[in-house]
Amino acid sequence: MAEIKRSEYVCSNCQQEATLCSCDGDYRRYSVREWDCDDCKRTVASHGGRDTECTNCGAQYNGSGQRLQDDWRGNPSLCNDDIGDLEGYEIQHAGD
């Protein structure tokens, strides 16, 4: 898991840190997390806890900074609820 360099909440209206925001109204606040890419060491950011990828080398991460396998989208469990993650991984790599 990546070491988080920055973690803060941001106002969805003004894009400022929530503690500095002076917006009137009930705007949504979302988290921003940043860490260094495991491969190229550039900064990677996740907005609102969403999956993201390094814009420099394409390494993929979940919203908490955990590196994902480059081929995770090929796992059949992604689109079939009857197949578990491990079973899907085994099916995906059966011919390797």
The answer for 50, left when phi > 0, alpha when psi is -120 to 50, beta otherwise, is beta
Domain ranges of the chain: 4-65, 70-96
User: Which letter does DSSP use for residue 87 in this model?
Assistant: H
Averaged pLDDT for residues 79-85: 92
With cut-offs at 50, 70 and 90, classify the pLDDT of residue 43. very high
pLDDT at 82: 95
Give pLDDT tens digits for 83-94. 999 999 999 998
Distance, in Å, from the CA atom of 56 to the CA atom of 40, rounded to the nearest integer, reads: 8
pLDDT at res. 81: 93
Given a cut of 70, whether residue 1 has pLDDT beyond it is no
pLDDT tens for each residue of 11-38: 888 888 877 888 877 778 788 899 999 9
